[in-house]
Structure 1
Amino acid sequence: MKFKYWARTKEGRIQTGIIEASSKEVAVGVLKSNQLYVTGIESTEAAPIWARQIKLFERVSATDLVMFSRQLSVMFTSGVPLSEALTAIAEQIKKAKFKEKILELAQTVEGGSTFSKALSRFPELFSDFYVSVVKAGEVSGTMGKSLVYLADHLEREYNLRSRLKGAMIYPALVVVATIGVFVLMTVFIMPQLIAVLEGSKVEPPAITKVAIGLSYFMRNWWWVGLILVTALAAGGWRYSKTLEGKAVFDNLYLKIPGVGGFLKKLYLARFAENLSTLISGGLPISQALEVSGRIVGNNVYQKIIFEARDRVTKGESITAVFASYPGFFTSLFCQMSLVGEKTGHIDKTVMTIANFYEEEINRTTENLVNILEPILILVLGGMVGLLMAAVVIPLYQISAGGL
C-alpha cells in the first residue's frame, strides 16, 4: 500500500512524500527510523464507496474555523513560529481535508511565502476579509494583534448566527406541525366526511365546500402543486443568484415590515465590526471600506459603502456619505462615526456601534421568539378549528335532519 505523509525533519523543516508499506503503522515506523517526526499520514489508494462518501460530505464548519483561528492566535502571540503553530494545530484536526490544507499552509509558509499569500490559495476556507486582516498585520508588523482580532471576530459572528438559528427552531417546528395537521385533515378525514355527505341530502356550508375542494386537490392533483412550488422555488433561487435578482431581493427584504428593521440592525452591526477589525488590523480606511463592503451581505448597503470608499479617497468625510442615506444608516451610527473621524479613533467608535446593535439584535431575537410563540399557536389552532368546523357543522346538520 502507498501512503502520503507529512513530517518534520530534525532541523524543523516540513517534508511531504509518498511511502510504500504493508500498513500505516509500518510506514510510520520506517519514517521514524529515518529521523522524521510524522504529523500526518493517509492511504493514497481508493477507499470503499462508503468511506469516499463520508469524505465527500466532510466539510469545514464555522466552528472548525473559529477553533483554528483561536488556537493560532494564542500560539503565535505566545512566541511559537507560524509554521510550527500551523503544524501543531494540524495534528489535532480530525477532518482529513481540513488537516491537509493546514499542513499545506505550514509547508508554504516554511518555503518562504507570506501567510496572507498562503491563505489566498484556499478561498473556499479563508474569505477576502480573513486574508485582508492577516495582510494588514503583516504590513504593519502587528500580526499577533491581527490574529487575535480575527479570532474574536469569527467567534462573535458564529455566536450571533447560532442565536439566530436557535431562535428559528421553534417556529419551524410549529410550521411543520401545521402542515402535518393540514395534510392529515384533507387527505384522511375529509374523504370520510364526503362519503357521509353523499349519502345524505344536506347542503354543506361554504367552509365545508372549500375543505372538500382542498381535499380533492390534495388527493388527486398534489403533484401539480408540488411541481408549481418546486418550479417557483427553483426559479426564485436561480434569479436571486443573478446580480439583478440579488439587488431586487436585497432591496425587498429591507422593506418588509418588522423584518426590514431587524435586517438593517444586522447589516449595520456586521459592517461596523468588520470595519473596526480591518482598521484595527492596520488597513487604510479606503481598503477597509472596500473589503467590508464586499462581505456585508446586502446589495443596497454594498453600494452605499462603495460610494463611501470612492468619496473617502477624494478626501471627503465618510460620515457625510452615511448621513445622506438616513433610511439605512441611523443617526446614532452617523454621530458615532463623526466622533471617530474627529478623534482619529474611528475603529473604536464603530466597534461601540457594533456592540450596541449586537445587543439590540439579541434582545430582538429573544422578543421575536416570545412574540411568535403565541401567534403561531393561534394560527395553528385557528387552522385546526376551521377544518374541524368544516367537518362538525355538516355532521350536526345531518344529525338534526335525522331528528
Structure 2
Amino acid sequence: MLKQYRYRGKNSQGETVRGVMKHYTEDHVIRYLKQKEIWISHIQERHPIWNSIEGIPFQKKISKKDLSMFFFQLSTMLSIGVSMLEALETIQEQMKPISLRYAIEEIYMLVQQGYPLSLSMKIQGKFPSFSIYSIEVGEKSGGLEHIVRDLGKYYEQSNDMFHQVKTALTYPIFVIITTLLIFIAFLYFLLPIFCDLLNSVTDSIPPYTRKLLQWMEFIQRTGWMWGIGCAFLILSIFLYTKTKKGTQRWHCFLLHVPIIGSLKIQWMIVHFAKTLEILLGSGIPLLSALEQSIGMLQNPYVEFKFRKSIQNVRAGNILSKEMQEYSFFPKTFIQMVALGEKTGDLEGMMRKASNLYEQEMNRNFKQLIVLLEPILIVFVACLVGSMIFIVIQPVLQLLNTIGEVL
C-alpha cells in the first residue's frame, strides 16, 4: 500500500520546495524528486490516518469534465505513438485542476516502477472503478487507445447529462424550497394567531385546521426525538449499504425503482455488450471475456448473480438460457445473445446491442428531463393548494360568524 511522505528541499533555482507525496518507500520518493531536480533536506512519513481521511465522502473528487479532458488527451498522445510514461508526464504538466494533476503524478510514479496503468489507477484511488475496469480490458485486449477514447466520450456525455439535469431542476427546486419555507412559516407563526382570533369570535374551528394544529403541537413536543430517530435510521441504512449483503440489496432495489431502474439496466447492458464485443474481437475465449466483462456491470447484485451463470456456462449450459433466469436482462437483449450464439457472430450481435440500447438510453433520458419540470410544478401546485385550503376554511367560517353577528 502507498504511504504518504512529507518532504522539504531545494530545486535547481535554489528555491525551497515543500510537499506531500505517495509512494511505497522513502527511497522511491527521493529518487523520483531527484529526477525532477529537487534535492531533499528533510523527509518524514505521515501518520496512516491521512490515508483514511482521503476516503471521506465530502473530499473533492475529480470531476467528469476533468476526466473527459484527461482521457481525450491520453488517447490523442497514444494514437500518435507517444509512450505511456511520456504521455502521462506531458499531461501532468499541462493539467490545471490540482487534484487531477497530483493524481496523474502518482500514477506516473507507479507506471515508472513497472505497474500497468489500470493497477496504478486502482492503487492511486481517486479514479472511478468504471474507468479502471475499462483500462484493464483495453490492456488485455490490446485496444487501450480505443478504450481510452471511449472513456473520454463517456465522461463527456455524463458531464453533459449532469448539466442537463441540473439546468432542468434548478428553477423547480428553488420554487419548491421557497414554497416549503413559506408554508412552514405559515404553519408555525400565522396559523396559530389566526386560530386564536377565530376562537375569540367563535368556539368552533374547522376539523382539518384543528387536526393540523394538534399535529404541529405534537411535532413541537417530540421534534427532537424524531430528529434523532431519523438521523439514526439514515446512519444505519448508510452503514448497512457498506456491507457486502447490504450493497447487493441496495443495488437490487435501485434496479426496481421506476424510470431510474430502467436507465441503470440500459447503461449496464451498453457497457457490458461493448466490453464483450471488444474482448471477443481480440480473440479472447467467451468464458474469459465474460469474466473480464463482469466489472463493467457496476452493480454488485447483478455481478453476484451473473458469476453463477458463468459457472453454469463453464459446465456446458447456454449463455442466453442462463440470462433468462434473471429479470434484469431485457428479453430483447437475451434474444440478441441467443441469435449471436446460433449464427456464431456473438461479437457482431453485441455491437448491435450496445448501439441499440445506447440510443434507447439517450432517448429515455431526454424524456425524463422533459418530464421532470412539469412533475415538480404539479407538486408545487399541490403544496400551494393545500395551504390555500387550510386558510380558506377558517376565513369563510370567520366571515360567516361576522355576518351572523351583524
TM-score computed with the length of structure 1 as normaliser: 0.75
- Which of 74, 86, 89 is 1:84 aligned to? 86
Matches within 5 A, 1:135-154: 135-154=136-155
RMSD: 3.9
**Which residue number corresponds to residue 74 of structure 1?**
76
CA contact (8 A) 2:133 2:296 kept: no
Name the amino acid aligned to 2:223: W
Name the amino acid aligned to 1:19: G
Taking the aligned partners of 1:43 and 1:69, their CA distance within structure 2 comes to 36
1:351-376 superposed Cα distances (whole Å, 9 cap, x missing partner):
43233223323332333343343343
Matches within 5 A, 1:87-236: 87-125=89-127, 127=129, 130-160=131-161, 163=164, 169=170, 172-217=173-218, 219-236=220-237
Taking the aligned partners of 1:388 and 1:90, their CA distance within structure 2 comes to 59
**Which residue number corresponds to residue 324 of structure 1?**
325
**Which residue number corresponds to residue 365 of structure 1?**
365
Cα shift at 1:196: 0.9
CA contact (8 A) 1:136 1:283 kept: no
Taking the aligned partners of 2:283 and 2:16, their CA distance within structure 1 comes to 46
**Which residue number corresponds to residue 355 of structure 1?**
355
Q: More deviation in 206-215 or 364-373?
A: 364-373
CA contact (8 A) 2:118 2:132 kept: yes
Q: More deviation in 190-199 or 77-86?
A: 190-199
SS in 2 for 1:19: strand
CA contact (8 A) 2:10 2:39 kept: no
CA contact (8 A) 2:251 2:300 kept: yes
Cα shift at 1:71: 0.7
Name the amino acid aligned to 1:151: G
In structure 2, the CA distance between the partners of 1:348 and 1:294, relative to structure 1 (3 Å rule), is: same
Name the amino acid aligned to 2:323: F
1:84-132 superposed Cα distances (whole Å, 9 cap, x missing partner):
11110000123444323323333443444443443343243263x5445
Name the amino acid aligned to 1:209: R
SS in 1 for 2:123: coil
Structure 2, gaps ≥5 residues long: 1-6, 18-33, 45-53
Aligned pair count reads: 372
Taking the aligned partners of 2:361 and 2:208, their CA distance within structure 1 comes to 42
Taking the aligned partners of 2:328 and 2:271, their CA distance within structure 1 comes to 13
- Which of 10, 21, 26 is 1:20 aligned to? 10
CA contact (8 A) 2:61 2:126 kept: no
Taking the aligned partners of 2:381 and 2:364, their CA distance within structure 1 comes to 25
Taking the aligned partners of 2:349 and 2:37, their CA distance within structure 1 comes to 44
Name the amino acid aligned to 1:376: L
In structure 2, the CA distance between the partners of 1:245 and 1:165, relative to structure 1 (3 Å rule), is: farther
Taking the aligned partners of 2:39 and 2:331, their CA distance within structure 1 comes to 57
CA contact (8 A) 1:174 1:376 kept: no
1:11-64 superposed Cα distances (whole Å, 9 cap, x missing partner):
xxxxxx96326x978469xxxxxxx99699999999xxxxxx9xx944322322
Cα shift at 1:221: 4.1
Taking the aligned partners of 2:283 and 2:123, their CA distance within structure 1 comes to 22
Taking the aligned partners of 2:89 and 2:268, their CA distance within structure 1 comes to 36
- Does residue 246 in structure 1 map to residue 247 in structure 2? yes
**Which residue number corresponds to residue 337 of structure 2?**
337
Taking the aligned partners of 2:282 and 2:131, their CA distance within structure 1 comes to 11
Matches within 5 A, 1:373-392: 373-392=373-392
In structure 2, the CA distance between the partners of 1:370 and 1:214, relative to structure 1 (3 Å rule), is: farther
Cα shift at 1:74: 0.7
Name the amino acid aligned to 1:353: A
CA contact (8 A) 1:137 1:281 kept: no
Structure 1, gaps ≥5 residues long: 1-16, 29-35, 47-52
Q: More deviation in 67-76 or 307-316?
A: 307-316
CA contact (8 A) 2:195 2:205 kept: no
- Aligned-residue sequence identity (percent) comes to 27
Taking the aligned partners of 1:266 and 1:167, their CA distance within structure 2 comes to 21
Taking the aligned partners of 1:40 and 1:375, their CA distance within structure 2 comes to 59
Cα shift at 1:75: 0.2
Cα shift at 1:350: 2.4
CA contact (8 A) 2:73 2:91 kept: yes
In structure 2, the CA distance between the partners of 1:183 and 1:303, relative to structure 1 (3 Å rule), is: same
CA contact (8 A) 1:133 1:281 kept: no
Cα shift at 1:228: 2.9
Taking the aligned partners of 2:274 and 2:211, their CA distance within structure 1 comes to 52
Taking the aligned partners of 2:366 and 2:205, their CA distance within structure 1 comes to 45
Cα shift at 1:174: 5.0
Taking the aligned partners of 2:140 and 2:246, their CA distance within structure 1 comes to 38
Taking the aligned partners of 1:235 and 1:311, their CA distance within structure 2 comes to 36
CA contact (8 A) 1:136 1:281 kept: no
**Which residue number corresponds to residue 22 of structure 2?**
none
CA contact (8 A) 1:39 1:87 kept: no
CA contact (8 A) 1:194 1:212 kept: no
In structure 2, the CA distance between the partners of 1:18 and 1:312, relative to structure 1 (3 Å rule), is: farther
CA contact (8 A) 2:134 2:296 kept: no
Taking the aligned partners of 1:78 and 1:302, their CA distance within structure 2 comes to 37
Cα shift at 1:333: 0.5
In structure 2, the CA distance between the partners of 1:110 and 1:335, relative to structure 1 (3 Å rule), is: same
